[in-house]
Amino acid sequence: MDDAIRNRNADYRGCPDKIDWSTWDPNMNATLLFILRGKEVLLIHKKTGLGAGKVNAPGGKIEKGETAEQAAIREVREEIKIEVDSPTEMGILRFQFVDDECLALHCTVFCASKFQGNPSETAEAEPFWCSFDEMPYDQMWADDAFWIPGMLSGKKFDGEFVFDGELMLWSNLRWR
């Protein structure tokens, strides 16, 4: 890691509310895709990568040449073996991690209710259906409880979050 990134993250750790999000530059772009069935959402127990051991929606890194939507559809196919049609963009999340990893993550969040196939466990994820009323927020990232309830009711959003490891230090969420 170069000194500029180390110094920036040291500044963020002490004053996470001082990040200029208009000039913030992510070093990773990713997606999440929440699949809806009535008043249920398809979640996963994540087995690998960032957030392993947590509950989340399928998703992952956007590869070179992909749009966020294409990446979301591909990640769902790879992680839980179903095909998704016509996802709708619901929000943008920006995460700055101030720990040693220096991750600056831009995440595009989608929802979809059209899909084919039966969700299947893979080496990356174990899928399960969950009622909107029984979301396991205690097993999820701390920011999820802020924006997922609104998203599940159809609201679109933008948010910024600062984490030190799994500890959320700061948040800002706006509904569109």
Segment holding 76, helix H or strand E:
helix 68-80
Residues with Cβ < 8 Å from 146, sequence gap 6 or more?
159, 171, 173
- pTM strictly above 0.85: yes
The domains of the chain are located at 3-16+26-175
The CATH fold assigned to 3-16+26-175 is Nucleoside Triphosphate Pyrophosphohydrolase (3.90.79)
Give the residue from 29, 79, 34, 26 showing the smallest Cα distance to 52.
79
Per-residue pLDDT 10s for the chain (176 aa) are 455 555 555 556 656 677 899 999 999 999 999 999 999 999 999 999 889 999 999 999 999 999 999 999 999 999 999 999 999 999 999 999 988 778 999 999 999 999 999 999 999 999 999 999 999 999 999 999 999 999 999 999 999 999 999 999 999 999 99
What is the predicted pLDDT for the residue at 16?
66
What is the predicted pLDDT for the residue at 140?
98
Give the residue from 55, 51, 37, 58 showing the smallest Cα distance to 145.
55
Q: How many other β-carbons are positioned within 10 Å of the β-carbon of residue 108?
A: 22
> Rounded distance, CA 82 to CA 40, Å?
16
